Amino acid sequence: MSTEKSEDGTQPSKNALKKAAKEAEKAAKAAERKARQEAEAAAKAAAEVDDAADNYGKLPLNQSQTKTGEHRIQISSLNANAEGHHVLFRARLHTSRAQGSKMVFFAFRQRQHTIQGLLQLKEGHVSKQMLKWAAAITTESIVLVQGIVARPLEPVQSVTIKDSEIHIAKLFVISSVETRLPFTMDDASRPEEEYERSEKEGIQYNRVLLETRLNNRVLDLRTQTNQAIFTIEHGVCGLFRSYLDSQGFTEIHTPKLQGAATESGASVFKVQYFNGLAYLAQSPQLPKQMAIAADFERVYEIAPVFRAEDSNTHRHMTEFMGLDLEMAFEESYDEVVDLLDSLFLSIFEGLSSKYASEIALISKQFPAEPFTWRKKDQGGTLRLRFSDGIAMLKEAGAEVGDLDDLSTENEKWLGRLVKEKFHTDFYILDKFPMAIRPFYTMADPEDARYSNSYDFFMRGEEILSGAQRIHDASLLEAEMVKKGIEPASMKHYVDAFRLGCPPHGGGGIGLERVVMLFLKLNNIRRAALFPRDPKRLVP
Amino acid sequence: MSTEKSEDGTQPSKNALKKAAKEAEKAAKAAERKARQEAEAAAKAAAEVDDAADNYGKLPLNQSQTKTGEHRIQISSLNANAEGHHVLFRARLHTSRAQGSKMVFFAFRQRQHTIQGLLQLKEGHVSKQMLKWAAAITTESIVLVQGIVARPLEPVQSVTIKDSEIHIAKLFVISSVETRLPFTMDDASRPEEEYERSEKEGIQYNRVLLETRLNNRVLDLRTQTNQAIFTIEHGVCGLFRSYLDSQGFTEIHTPKLQGAATESGASVFKVQYFNGLAYLAQSPQLPKQMAIAADFERVYEIAPVFRAEDSNTHRHMTEFMGLDLEMAFEESYDEVVDLLDSLFLSIFEGLSSKYASEIALISKQFPAEPFTWRKKDQGGTLRLRFSDGIAMLKEAGAEVGDLDDLSTENEKWLGRLVKEKFHTDFYILDKFPMAIRPFYTMADPEDARYSNSYDFFMRGEEILSGAQRIHDASLLEAEMVKKGIEPASMKHYVDAFRLGCPPHGGGGIGLERVVMLFLKLNNIRRAALFPRDPKRLVP
């Protein structure tokens, strides 16, 4: 069949031929136009080849495949004297802002420190493509920055390092953010009062609630405030240990898995232990006393303690860090109180001198009157008898029984009264009523209604509880029976005292409470990396 | 009824009257004898009035009722220069031995130190009664000793302070032993080889088995060896922290209560958490990595870890202390290995220099070749590739697959081969096969059968396990799926990496293993204050 024939075998009409010719002409024109466009695009591309392609981009996944040995700096080491230095560093992209099409401003962050970076169009070095790419990097990505240190025209107010900035030569992404951030660092770092002020002024900031922060704790912890809070917490532990080390203490580690529900059965977590049960230690009370009976003389431990109490308050957690100590004494438990007192002064002084910049940084988000205490040359720490504390409360109008425990309210009230009268945020309440203390507490030798026991307070809240302990097995058993505890349930503990034990006392400090109250963070969860409470077991 | 009548109302017989008279006479004689004896005793007592009654006795229970402020010394501070000093101290009664009726020798103990005391009859000062009472004090009682320091005629071999002894003026018991001691300090302090030698020589010592020791751990811990072991353990923690503090690390505290069974579900303890379940952390692996994603850069933690493994071996416990660290690195996980290596050298050097006397003391009961390592000027720590380790084993005749995990036997064998060839008790095995490492391990960039992971060994036993971790969420999920773990079960952990995370690595060290192997104690329980294993939850 000839190609000239139409498909149905008929001859083509004149009109059909005309139409075909027109279409062919149209197609030819389109082809011509396309070829011209392509030629133009090629010409344009040739004119805009990215001569900075090696200076930016996402780096391949680090599997330790490359070792250049190039030195990378900490931005905190930079100052005006570093002007002109070539530097290389890894940092978070804190913020970025393009200015026109030729410049991008960055803030780079390393923990508590931020520095300004500047990326500027520069032929052969920084291309338009690089600028566009850099401006689009998600904040919180981890970047590798290479550049030259410059002195800014005027101090950079928006960052912590004000007298230096980086003129960026190369910029790479090491690890990028692969999700929508639930909040910005700026929003998470704003003090409460700023929300309130701005709302009055008609500005709407995103308030980041504590619950949201804790649900996204990894992001929340990155704020400069939080980096500083946990630096302080590190400081408290270090100061605690270094003071006790200087006083001849031995650090011990006591088991958290206990064979019996000790102290008070109600608030103990049960653990499935193979075919039986174990219990999580509520404190190292029993083993640390047993260490004294085992001749360790002075011991301390920093370890988690577990409380199965369904308390949903600003100052309770189901797991928190106990700073515990126990020591034999020679004559009187005053030796223990004196040591604990000196320990706290050493911690307060250490924090104030070594961590002044962290304290200042945190106070921007959590404004507070500085924590005050009476130094040794100001008469030393105030020691009140419990009965004197009750008298102060009564005088102020509180209805409280002489031998009643202090309610949280009265505790805070007494704190305010003490602050007014004695100008201190730190004091000791001694000689608590016997009936409200644990079974192992030694009674006062003169008045058996009271005991050789004490609490320490910061800003009106209890942060340490301690006492002289009973070191006589028979007396201990008698006290256990009085409190309804079966001595056989703590056989190993009681037996320790039958082997001879020196008089001793000690105390347990709540780490997160000390940090919360020293910094006035208002909620204990802010002082715990990943807090645990009756409603929270993640993250 | 008259009293003269017999009970049945009949008149008494002649015989009965005779019998009654005889008995009356007998009773009169007995009464006379008794009166005479009493008079004699009174006369004797008058002649022997105790003119030393104030110089000895049991002190009343210490309730902090008395404060004299008298200085009490540590016996370790005494030396020959103290001759003639009046001293007062509290100590354990370690041993006592009466010599005739006029002298008693004592050894007094304070932790690792013992000193000889001498009580001698002296009119007006030390009475016979005092000597008799003193000789009867149970060993392990706590006593208060007042006396004068004297220089012994020749060095006292049986105690640690050889150049001084105490001439006792007053001796009081502060706390007495109220039970039969299950073993003596001497028996508990004897090296194994002494038992064996003595048995050959026909002497029968009481061998104190580990089980007996652990059942009576408070008493066992009082041996000088154990006091030294736990001083070393304190030292390891202190050296660990001080090195890491110097390297910019932050101490963190991660929760032991976890919302999900992490890492490997099989060996996790379950906890009743209010109306739900929680799980005890097997390691701080997940939260410490999350701290890196949260910008902490370098973190460490000393905390208990829990393993619900029914392993009853010399080196497994259900609860032990983890010395964990994690750090971001710049280019390669070699930075992590280098830091860990330097950390260990710093610990070994610190122990050897600061605790030489404790190490020497322990080696008396646990004789061992001193622990050896290659110092920096000896080429530094040996780093073997896993594949080279396998090759050494094969060459020595072991049947082992290239990618198999090392059995405990082969691990020890390799340790012996390394010791022979490289003369070190400490080495690093790098590049473990990927298949035998946890899901979060980064693969080797050149050979995906291997990984960027390592173990550290002491005397042929693993004491650290670590790796470069996967810091990319997608890759992490893929690896989890490969190992049969549902990524959703660790949502918060995986999500942390979606927020951007630097390349990082770290390791976990078993504290008790380090102490056991450094000192060659042969059983990990000896390095735990109150060890926990599948069969032991007390004391």
How would residue B389 be classed by pLDDT, with cut points 50, 70 and 90?
very high
* Domain B56-60+71-175 coded CATH 2.40.50.140: yes
**In the annotation, is A316 catalytic?**
yes
What's the rounded Cα separation, in Å, for the pair A307 and A534?
10
Inter-chain CB proximity B219 and A294 less than 8 Å: yes
Closest CA to A47 of A36, A58, A39: A39
User: In chain B, which residue's Cα lies nearest the Cα of A224?
Assistant: B295
Contacts of B269 in chain A (CB under 8 A): 257, 271-273, 278
B273: nearest CB among A253, A269, A530? A269
A442: nearest CB among B63, B217, B252? B63
pLDDT value at position B22? 75
Per domain, the residue ranges of chain B are 56-60+71-175, 185-220, 225-526
Contacts of B328 in chain A (CB under 8 A): 90
- Contact between B339 and B378 under an 8 Å Cβ cutoff? The reply is no
For residue B253, give the amino acid letter.
H
Which tokens hold the place of B361? Answer: 């003391």
Inter-chain CB proximity B499 and A528 less than 8 Å: no
Inter-chain CB proximity A178 and B473 less than 8 Å: yes
Task: State the catalytic residue, choosing from A222, A315, A459, A525.
Answer: A315
B271: nearest CB among A245, A280, A528? A280
Contacts of B499 in chain A (CB under 8 A): 140, 177, 179, 181, 218-219
User: In chain A, which residue's Cα lies nearest the Cα of B71?
Assistant: A330
Q: What percent of chain B has pLDDT over 70?
A: 93
pLDDT value at position A476? 97
Q: Which residues make Cβ contacts (< 8 Å) with residue A330, sequence separation at least 6?
A: A503, B72, B90
Contacts of A531 in chain B (CB under 8 A): 255
**In the annotation, is B513 catalytic?**
yes
Q: Which residues make Cβ contacts (< 8 Å) with residue B538, sequence separation at least 6?
A: A259, A260, A492
**In the annotation, is B316 catalytic?**
yes
Mean pLDDT over residues B380-407, rounded? 97
User: In chain B, which residue's Cα lies nearest the Cα of A219?
Assistant: B294
User: Tens of pLDDT along A15-33?
Assistant: 666 676 677 677 767 777 7
Closest CA to B443 of B471, B402, B404: B471
Closest CA to A507 of A231, A269, A240: A240
The helix (run of H) or strand (run of E) holding residue A415 is: helix A408-422
- Contact between B164 and B108 under an 8 Å Cβ cutoff? The reply is no
pLDDT value at position A263? 61
Contacts of B496 in chain A (CB under 8 A): 218, 539
Which tokens hold the place of A340? Answer: 């604990």
Contacts of B227 in chain A (CB under 8 A): 295-296
Rg, Å, chain A Cα set: 35
> Which backbone phi and psi does A272 adopt, to 5 degrees?
-70, 115
Task: State the catalytic residue, choosing from B298, B513, B525, B526.
Answer: B513
Inter-chain CB proximity B63 and A443 less than 8 Å: yes
Task: State the catalytic residue, choosing from B85, B151, B267, B309.
Answer: B309
- Give the CATH H-level superfamily of domain B225-526: Bira Bifunctional Protein; Domain 2 (3.30.930.10)
- Count of alpha carbons within 13 angstroms of residue B69, beta-carbon side: 0
Q: Which residues pair with B299 in a beta bridge?
A: B250, B326
Inter-chain CB proximity B179 and A475 less than 8 Å: no
Task: State the catalytic residue, choosing from B92, B109, B190, B307.
Answer: B307
User: Tens of pLDDT along A304-333?
Assistant: 999 999 999 999 999 999 999 999 999 999
Which CA distances in Å does B10 have to B1, B4, B5, B6, B49?
Answer: 12, 10, 7, 6, 57
**In the annotation, is A111 catalytic?**
no
Inter-chain CB proximity B253 and A181 less than 8 Å: no
User: Tens of pLDDT along B233-273?
Assistant: 999 999 999 999 999 999 999 999 999 876 665 689 999 99
Task: State the catalytic residue, choosing from A90, A316, A374, A536.
Answer: A316
Looking at the complex, report in whole angstroms how far the Cα of residue B510 sits from the nearest Cα belonging to chain A: 13
What ipTM was predicted for this assembly? 0.91
pLDDT value at position B31? 72
Rg, Å, chain B Cα set: 34
pLDDT value at position B6? 38
What secondary structure letter does DSSP report for A533? B
Looking at the complex, report in whole angstroms how far the Cα of residue B237 sits from the nearest Cα belonging to chain A: 8
How would residue B13 be classed by pLDDT, with cut points 50, 70 and 90?
low
Contacts of A331 in chain B (CB under 8 A): 62, 64, 66-69
pLDDT by residue for chain A (539 residues), tens only, comes to: 333 333 444 455 666 666 766 776 777 677 777 777 776 766 666 557 898 999 999 999 999 999 999 999 999 999 889 999 999 999 999 999 999 989 999 999 999 999 999 999 999 999 999 999 999 999 999 999 999 999 999 999 999 999 999 999 999 999 999 999 999 999 999 998 888 788 788 887 889 999 999 999 999 999 999 999 999 999 999 999 999 999 999 999 999 999 987 666 568 999 999 999 999 999 999 999 999 999 999 999 999 999 999 999 999 999 999 999 999 999 999 999 999 999 999 999 999 999 999 999 999 999 999 999 999 888 899 999 999 999 999 999 999 999 999 999 999 999 999 999 999 999 999 999 999 999 999 999 999 999 999 999 999 999 999 999 999 999 999 999 999 999 998 999 999 999 999 999 999 999 999 999 999 999 999 999 999 999 999 99
How would residue B17 be classed by pLDDT, with cut points 50, 70 and 90?
low
CB pairs under 8 A between A and B: 310
The helix (run of H) or strand (run of E) holding residue A417 is: helix A408-422
**In the annotation, is A315 catalytic?**
yes
